[in-house]
């Protein structure tokens, strides 16, 4: 893995950590395969990201509530 790949993957992992902290309620953020996250972290730590270029699937469930403000 070159430095650019490592930096990109580390950035994406940091973004996922941010999403997990923002959407921490049950069912808000769901990973298609939770083991992919652990595998990707291990790949970055070992320096071997071969086979990890396909992306990671997740679903973000949002509930939009309309707030009416009085004028």
Give tens-digit pLDDT for 27-61: 888 888 888 888 888 888 888 766 665 567 778 88
**Do residues 1 and 26 lie in contact, with contact meaning Cβ atoms separated by under 8 Å?**
no
Output the pLDDT for position 55.
Answer: 66
Averaged pLDDT, 17-28 = 89
Q: What is the DSSP-derived secondary structure letter of residue 2?
A: -
Q: Where are the beta strands (DSSP E) in 1-71?
A: 29-31, 58-60
Q: How confident is the model at residue 14 (pLDDT cuts 50, 70, 90)?
A: very high
Quick one: how far is CA 3 from the chain centroid? 20
Q: Which residue in 51, 26, 22 sits closest to 36, CA to CA?
A: 51
Output the pLDDT for position 1.
Answer: 64
Output the pLDDT for position 28.
Answer: 86
Burial status of residue 28 (CB atoms within 10 A of its CB: 0-12, 13-18, 19 or more): middle
Judged against a pLDDT cut of 90, whether residue 12 lies above it is answered with: no
């Amino acid at each position: 893995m070159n430095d650019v790949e490592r930096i990109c993957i580390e950035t994406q992992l940091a973004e996922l950590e941010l999403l997990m902290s923002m959407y921490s309620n049950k069912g808000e953020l769901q990973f298609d395969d939770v083991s992919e996250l652990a595998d990707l972290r291990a790949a970055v730590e070992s320096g071997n990201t071969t086979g990890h270029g396909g992306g990671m699937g997740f679903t973000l469930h949002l509930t939009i509530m309309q707030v009416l403000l009085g004028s």
